[in-house]
Structure 1
Amino acid sequence: MSTIDALTALTIVEMTVPGRLDDVDAADFHASVALNNAVCLNDTGLLDLQSTAEELLPHWQDRTDTVRRTLLAREGGVLVGAITLYYAVAEPTSAEIDLMVLPENWGRGIEQALLARAEDEVRQLGRSVIQSWTLHRADRTGAMLTPATGWGEIPRSPLAALLLDSGYALEQVERTSAFDLQGDLTPIQSALDAALAVAGEEYRVVEWTLPTPPERRDGYAWALSRMSTDAPSGGLEVDEETWDAERIARRDARFLDGGQTVSVAAVEHVPTGTLAAFNELAIGADPEGVTHQYCTLVLKEHRGHRLGIVVKCANILRWRRIAPLSPRISTFNAEENRPMLDINEALGFAPVSYAGAWQKRLA
């Protein structure tokens, strides 16, 4: 189905997800990935958020747990923008959108048309909340916006202004931080030793590289589900997520099918055999690529034992052996998450960009 704006000859059509990247119908997928990378580079001034088509395709193909759909906007056959919808199948409240229009195409109605079409799609899904993100450089200037949490601020960029004018509220600010993986890791080892001494014998480090060992899947499913309840979310409406061993296996497969290597460092609570904390580091097929930290969490009932330092340090030291050529780790943290930011800053993570989390409740 397509939408046509007679004033601009703009067409918006849903992208076909190819079976393979060398299929004849894969050109649009490659183009959407290139557009996303260009927008991330323009907004942050960094190459850290670049993704490859190989990494992303499995996440578009597998719709068992999360559905990803991309709408492409063209003028005269030329791609001028896109918007992606993400929504979890088991969690019914919200859908996330990612609007991608480069500066040279901004201001001609393309961004408004894509946003309106995406909102219509979300309404048809029966979801009541739309969420989105804006990216911002570290050298922030001009008018600033502060979220309802009072933590952090972002510039009023064109996309931020569009969302604000369209009824979205800024609910949270996240900081992107980077850690130099090529530096001396002696301080990391020292921090790990000190934290383990505080944690004591009730906690022990366990590590694995995806795929998650079968005997760990149930426990990891429970720990990962706690990201939706225990991680700071500002004013964002977040459904409690349901995870099981099968969902963990499918998640692992998407990463592995995309050519990614993912290391998990976790802490087991010895008396109960449950996981109390975990940290994930990932890299694509390029051994010199940027490392991405995915999820990190200390479950609420286990906080106060320095387990955040334990999992971060343990995984950084393990990662040096897995990806010795990777230059740095890139990670996002909510500005109100001072305990985790305190750990990051103590270990040498430095802020490099920012992101705003936006939300609109549909009537």
Structure 2
Amino acid sequence: MNATTLTITPLTVPASLEDPDAADFLAFGALNRLVCDEATGLPDLAPDAAQMLAAWQENTDSLSLGFVARAGDDVVGMLAMDFAQEAEARAAEIDVLVPESSAGLGVEDALLDLAEREAHARGRTLLQKWTLHRPIETERMIVPRTGWGRIPAIPLTDALERHGYVCEQVERNSELDLRADPAPLVAALAEAEAHAGPDYRTVHWMAPTPVEHRDGYAAILARLSTDAPSGDMEFVAEEWDADRVIRRDARNTAAGQAFSVVAVQHVPTGALVAYNELLIGADRSGVTHQFGTLVASEHRGHRLGMIVKCANLLRWRELMPASAVVSTFNAEENRPMLSINEAIGFVPVSYAGAWQKRI
């Protein structure tokens, strides 16, 4: 297979998955899950087409574009691109999906070339890509520029390096057994709440976010793009308001998903200063995914991260008793958050590499 035998066409985003033109988007969802399963051995780590569709239909905050690579009639790869819509955004986030059956045959190179052309055409000067990896040691291990963690080389990382991408950061994917004895969570929560003291209290909700918390939630969500450890990955400061929270809630509850938020409120000011999010698909026996967890920098040192994590996990066990595990990603250099995870029973199951190229 080579570039001359490939045809690459735009991905159609259907109005619904029942529409006649939904075939490619359904194939996108299936390929997304297959590639993730092959890379990590974790079949439920990636969202399916139903879970992704709402985000692709709503372009107010992030524009999504996709492309389908075929050899003859066979789909051999896909490219997904996301463009943050803030005026100062410089990056295009890309996902190159190539199954093992087509890996190393030139599909990755063709899709990376296309990604660069599309990003350049939209005035972007950075390309960012995440790769998934099993927790194994191989002959060639890649150490990111942060110096924290390492990932095994795979055909996709070989292609990224050929195209001038640099591995900036490694993230650890950890899982917690939700069926384990909850006593450590209960004890850790009580100890953290006692340490934090009366100036902090927890609030919680299931999406959609109650009106009284939308502004405060928007303010703390905006901090994730600037306060979370990211090495030399460049992220635009995201612009959040109550309307963007409403749009995000709609995406996170589409296709029967359920989304739980536990936040810490600073009593003297009323501000939300920490939060943790958990999401599960329509199949309530599936994997639970932890989305954002953040403590505002000026409120760190009060064990608020432990509070939001433990409180949400304990609440989730009651809300979703059929879900067996929670999955989460954290930067390897984010020792405070990893220490919380380890203390309450999370164990590493896979890794991700964060790659960046300046164009």
* TM bucket, shorter chain: over 0.9
- Equivalent residue in structure 2 for 1:165, among 152, 162, 166: 162
Q: Note the 1:229-308 alignment, pairs <5 A.
A: 229-308=226-305
Report how far residue 299 of structure 1 moved: 0.5
Question: For residue 69 of structure 1, what is the aligned residue in structure 2?
Answer: 65
Under a length normalisation based on structure 2, what TM-score does the superposition of the two structures give?
A: 0.98
Of 108-117 and 30-39, the range deviating more from structure 2: 108-117
The answer for the alignment partner of 1:9 in structure 2 is 5
TM-score (norm 1): 0.97
Kindly indicate whether the alpha-carbon contact (under 8 Å) linking 1:41 and 1:47 is maintained by their aligned counterparts in 2.
yes
**Residues 148-181 of structure 1: per-residue CA shift (max 9 Å, x gap):** 1110011111111111121011100000000000
What's 1:330 paired with?
327
Q: Offset of 1:7 from its aligned partner?
A: 6.0
Say whether 1:44 aligns with 2:40: yes
1:136 aligns with 133
Residue 350 of structure 2 is matched in structure 1 by: 353
Q: Which moved more, 1:250-259 or 1:19-28?
A: 250-259
Deviation larger for 349-358 or 61-70: 61-70
CA gap of 1:261–1:7, structure 2 versus 1, over 3 A, is closer
3-state DSSP of counterpart to 2:20: coil
Aligned to 1:221: 218
Which segment drifts farther, 80-89 or 328-337? Answer: 80-89
Q: Which residue of 2 aligns with 1:122?
A: 119
Deviation >4 Å, runs of 4+ = none
Contact in 2 for aligned 1:17/1:29 (Cα 8 Å): yes
Structure 1 unaligned regions, length at least 5: none
For this pair of structures, how many residues does the alignment match? 358
SS in 2 for 1:72: strand
SS of alignment partner, residue 234 of structure 2: coil
Does residue 151 of the first structure (1) align with residue 163 of the second (2)?
A: no
SS at match of 2:131: strand
**How far 1:6 moved relative to its partner?**
8.7
2:15 to 14, 19, 36: 19
Amino acid aligned to 1:62: E
> Conserved in 2, the CA contact under 8 Å of 1:290 and 1:329?
yes
Whether the aligned pair in 2 keeps the contact of 1:147 and 1:172 (CA below 8 Å) is yes
Q: Is the 8 A contact 1:48 1:330 kept in 2?
A: no
Conserved? CA contact 1:267–1:275, under 8 Å: yes
Q: Could you tell me how far 1:108 is from its partner in structure 2?
A: 2.4
Instruction: Letter of the 2:251 partner, please give it.
Output: R
- How far apart are the structure 1 equivalents of 2:75 and 2:198? 58
Asked if the contact 2:104–2:156 (Cα under 8 Å) also holds between the matched residues in 1, the reply is no
Bigger mean CA offset, 145-154 vs 87-96:
87-96
Mean Cα displacement is larger for which, 52-61 or 270-279? 52-61
CA distance in 1, matches of 2:222, 2:2: 46
- RMSD over aligned Cα, in angstroms? 1.2
Counterpart-to-counterpart distance in 2, 1:249 and 1:271: 27
The letter of the residue matching 1:16 is T
Partners of 2:2 and 2:106 within 8 A in 1:
no
1:196 aligns with 2:199: no
Is the 2:225–2:236 Cα contact (8 Å) retained in structure 1?
A: yes
The alpha-carbon distance between structure 1 residues 275 and 7, as it changes in their structure 2 partners (threshold 3 A), is closer
- Does the 8 Å CA contact 1:171/1:236 hold for their aligned counterparts? yes
Quote how far apart the aligned CAs of 1:78 are.
1.4
Residue 103 (structure 2) aligned to one of 99, 103, 106: 106
Question: What SS does structure 1 have at the residue aligned with 2:329?
Answer: strand
Which structure 2 residue ranges, 5 or more long, are not aligned? Answer: none
Instruction: Give the secondary-structure state (helix, strand or coil) at the position aligned to 2:218.
Output: helix
| Counterpart-to-counterpart distance in 1, 2:240 and 2:229 | 19
Counterpart contact for 1:54–1:259, Cα < 8 Å: no
